[in-house]
A and B are shown apart, each in its own frame.
Chain A
C-alpha cells in the first residue's frame, strides 16, 4: 500500500522517464496526466448527468425552465405526449375535473401490473385455482398484498369510473363536439364492469361461484336466446345451446366457465378496454382538450339550429 502510494506520488508531477511523463505499459503509451484529466471530466459529468451524451440520447431535450424545453419535453416523450404541450390554466383545477378520469386510468395500470404478477401464480383449472389463491395468501412473498391490491383497485376503479361519468354529465361535457367520446366512455364503463365481473369467478370460491351463478342465470332469460326467456323455447333454445351455454362453456359453472372467465378477464376484455381507451384519449385531444371550465353562456345567446 505504502509502496504504491509512494510510486503514485512520485510518478504524477515529475517527469521521471519519457519526455512528458508518459510511460510504456503493455506496449501502450500512458500519460498519467491525461488520464487524470479524463477522470476529472468523467467525475464532472456524473455531477451533471443532464449534460452527458447518454442523457441527451434518451431525452433529447434540455431540462431547464424555458418554455421551449418544457414544451418539447412533453411532445417528444412517448408517454407524456398524451398531453397537450400547454393547457388552459383552469384545466389543472381539481374542483372542475375531480381527477377521476386520470385516476381510473392509473387504477387500470395498477390492475394490469398486479394482474400480471398474479398470473404467474395462477392456473385456471378446477384442481389448482383455489389452491393457488391459498398459496398466494400464505406462501408467496407479498402475495396477500398483491391479491388485496388487485381486488381493492378493481372496486375503486368501478367507483371512479362512475364518478368520472357523473362529473362529465354535470359539466355538460358530452355536448358538441364531444358526443362520440361520451359514447366511447359508456363502452369503457361497461368493459370495466365486465372486467370486474369476470374476475369474480377466478378464485373459484363460494363467493365467486354463486355470484357468477346468479349473474349468468339471468342470461337464461334472454328473450329469444335463452331457454327460459320469452320466445326462447320457440326458437329451439335448450340449456345446452342457449346464450348462457356460450358464456359458461357448459350448462353449469364449472371448469370451462373458469377457463373462459380467465381468458375474457386476462386477454380479451383488457384488449378491448385498451383499444377503446386509446380512442377515448385520442378523442379528448382531438375534440379540443377537456371541456372547461368554459365561459358561461346566456339563454339569449343560443344560436338558431342549422340542419
Chain B
C-alpha cells in the first residue's frame, strides 16, 4: 500500500472536484431518492384508499393551516438566494486561498506528459478511448450523449412524476438515467482520474505509479479467436456479431419496456418514431458496458473489422 502515491493523486488540486464528487453525487442521489421514497409511500397509501385520495392534499410536506399558498419573492426568495450567494462566495474564497490552481512548465510539444489527461469532466470520454476507436469514443458517443439528453422529454411519454420526486412511477426512466449518469459517466470519470496512471495503465488505489511498468497482455480481435483469416469473411462475421448484439439488446430492452402493465400502457402512448429512437439510444448505451466487459474479461480488441472502420 503506497499511501504517498494515493495522497499525491487525491491532493492534486485539479482532482479536488472528483474527490468532492465521490461524496457529493452519492449524497444528492440519496437526498433525491429519499424524497422519492417518501412520495412513493404516500402514493401507496392513496392508491389503497381512493376515498382519501379524493380529498387528500397530495404532498409529503403539506401546507399548515393558516399558511399562504404563495409568498412574496421579496424577501422570502431573495433572502434564500442571498444566503446561497454568501455561502458559495465563502466556499470559493476559502478554496481559492488554500489551494493554488495548477501551473506546469511552459508548453513543450517535444516533452510528452505521462499520463497526459484531458480535463476531469472529459476523462469519461478519454477512458472510453481504451475500449473504442477515437471516432466512436471521441465523436460519435459525445454527439449521441448530447442528442440523447436533448430528446429525453420528447420520448418519455410517462405523464406521471411531473414536478415531484418519485421512484415507483418512473422506475424505467430513473434506472436509465442513473445508469447513464452515475454508473457510466461519473464512475468512468473517477476511474480516469484516480485509477489510470502512466501509459493509461490500470493502477489500483495505493499502487505505485511505476513508469517502467509493462503489462504483457495481448488484445485480440474476435475473428482471430474464432479463426477467420481472410477479409470479406472477417467483415461479414463482424457484421453478423454486431447485428446479433443489436438484435439481442433490442429484444432485451423491449422486454424491459413491456415488463409490467404500467410500462405497456406507456408504450401504448408512444409513437413508432419515439419507440425507435428510444431503442437506438438504449442499444448504443448498452454497447458501452458490453464492450468494456468484453475487453476486461476476454481481451477482445475489435468485434467488427472492416477495411474502412473497426468497432
Contact = CB atoms under 8 A, between A and B. Distances in A.
B71 A205 contact: no
Given A106-B85, A197-B122, A221 B138 contact: yes
Contacts of A303: 159
A33 interface: no
Contacts of A86: 70-73
A8 interface: no
Contacts of A172: 160-164, 166, 170, 173
Contacts of A256: none
A152 interface: yes
A160 to B, nearest CB: 9
Interface stretch (B90-98, B220-228, B237-245, B250-258): B90-98
B113 A171 contact: no
Contacts of A144: 100
Interface residues on A, range: 35 or more
B53 A298 contact: yes
Contacts of A106: 84-85, 88
Contacts of B67: 89
Interface string B137-156: 11110000010011011101
30 contacts: A67-B72, A70-B75, A80-B73, A80-B74, A83-B73, A84-B73, A85-B73, A86-B73, A87-B73, A88-B71, A110-B92, A145-B96, A148-B95, A150-B101, A152-B92, A166-B177, A167-B32, A170-B36, A175-B159, A182-B153, A204-B107, A205-B107, A206-B113, A218-B125, A231-B308, A293-B59, A293-B163, A293-B165, A298-B43, A305-B269
Interface of B: 14, 16-17, 20-21, 24-25, 28-29, 31-33, 35-36, 39, 42-43, 46-47, 50, 53, 57-59, 61, 63, 67-78, 80-81, 84-85, 88-89, 91-93, 95-97, 99-109, 111-113, 116-122, 125-126, 129, 133-135, 137-140, 146, 149-150, 152-154, 156-166, 169-170, 173-174, 177, 181, 262, 265, 269, 308-309
Interface of A: 67, 70-71, 73-74, 80, 83-96, 98-99, 102-103, 106-107, 110, 130, 133-134, 137, 144-145, 147-153, 155-156, 158-159, 162-163, 165-167, 169-176, 178-180, 182-183, 186-187, 189-190, 193, 196-197, 200, 203-211, 213-215, 217-223, 226, 228-231, 252-253, 291-300, 302-303, 305
